[in-house]
Amino acid sequence: MPSRNHLRSRASAWDRKYSPYLYISPFFILFAIVGLFPLVYTAWVAAHDWDLIMGQGEFVGLDNFAHVVGQRAFWIALRNTLSIFILSTGPQVVAAIIIAYMLDSHLRARTFWRMGVLLPYVVTPVAVALIFSNLFSQRFGLVNSVLDTIGIDPIGWQSEVLPSHLAIASMVNFRWTGYNALIFLAAMQAVPRDLYEQAEIDGAGKVRQFISVTVPMLRPTIIFVVITSTIGGLQIFDEPRLYDQYGRGGTDGQWQTMTIYLYELGWTRSDFGMASAVAVLLFLLIVAIGIINFTITRRIANGEGRKSSTSRRRLKKGATL
């Protein structure tokens, strides 16, 4: 009996010590297979002269990176990617917060409206691209027709740089604003209603409550949405590729993004080495912007933490007096 009790206690100790690692191990195993290994393998291909047909060639080190960085097309693709990302992410987050705040109010048929904002996300990217490419078409587009009726010259939505970026950004915002609005709505419903009651007693209106109560309480959710939008925005591929019938990012690369440039190098020029180098550079760019976002949000949180601690000290001092 003592030996059996000893084995039982030891098994129970092992269970408490090692079972949490077993529970979370499937995620890390899948991540190593479908995430980490492709990343390491891409870096390995980027260091070789790798052809689509001939396969692995000789080791070239950083030559593929140097060659890619020296190309004008790479910098144009980087400019386009950052421009579309900035034009889509900022307005998307602001619009999603406002829509979520409206959905959180006392509306009739709230379930209907909440399901309605998710419909653009359900629509396939091909359908969205076809609709918006016709809306922003240069010759027969509805947008230019409306502008012509009010006396404004037609805009080159598919020939100029900034208009094409605005059109693609509007496409991205149409698809993802409702999805992010539901994320913000879930966060808003977790905000204690007592805070709104106290603000209303203090004489704060709806706008003041939104600015002083809702937005500060949404800060962790805003950080999450900004980071996920950054990752998705820098990897944008479907919308710019389907924006016209050729799928190459414009005749002069007006809206060619990093992913389209990567695709062209890999499948059109059959140079997997340079394509992998672009993929590695894009990964480093996403990591760098993620670190910048993390640093900024951390400083903001630390600054607000100091303010709150200072205010608590002042309240304590006033109570003692």
Looking at 5-19, 49-63, 220-234, which range is the least confident one? Answer: 5-19
Contacts of 302 (CB under 8 A, 6+ apart): none
> What pLDDT score does 16 carry?
74
Q: Which two tokens stand for residue 196?
A: 């709104």
Cα 192 to its chain centre, rounded Å, is 28
Check whether 75 has a pLDDT greater than 90. Answer: yes
CATH of 71-320, one of 1.10.3720.10, 1.10.1740.10, 3.40.50.2300, 3.40.50.720: 1.10.3720.10
Check whether 164 has a pLDDT greater than 70. Answer: yes
Dist. CA 48–CA 57, nearest whole Å: 6
User: pLDDT tens for residues 216-239?
Assistant: 888 888 888 888 888 888 888 888
Nearest Cα to Cα of residue 92 among 100, 80, 81, 102: 100
User: pLDDT tens for residues 254-295?
Assistant: 889 999 999 988 888 888 889 999 999 999 988 888 788 777
Query: What does the pLDDT average to over 169-183?
Result: 91
Confidence of residue 313 (pLDDT cuts 50, 70, 90): low
Q: Which residue's entry shows tokens 């799928």?
A: 247
> What pLDDT score does 76 carry?
92
Which DSSP string do the residues of 180-211 spell out, in sequence order? HHHHHHHHHHTS-HHHHHHHHHTT--HHHHII
> What pLDDT score does 300 carry?
62
Q: What is the pTM of this model?
A: 0.80
Looking at 87-91, 200-204, 242-246, which range is the least confident one? Answer: 200-204
Contacts of 268 (CB under 8 A, 6+ apart): none
Q: Which two tokens stand for residue 93?
A: 């987050």
Question: Which segments of 7-90 are extended strands (E)?
Answer: none
Query: What does the pLDDT average to over 92-100?
Result: 90
Dist. CA 273–CA 49, nearest whole Å: 5
Contacts of 145 (CB under 8 A, 6+ apart): none
Check whether 188 has a pLDDT greater than 50. Answer: yes
How many residues does the structure list for the chain?
321
Confidence of residue 189 (pLDDT cuts 50, 70, 90): confident
Check whether 194 has a pLDDT greater than 90. Answer: no
Dist. CA 233–CA 87, nearest whole Å: 10
Would you list the domain boundaries of the chain?
A: 71-320
276 close to 64: Cβ distance less than 8 angstroms:
yes
96 close to 225: Cβ distance less than 8 angstroms:
yes
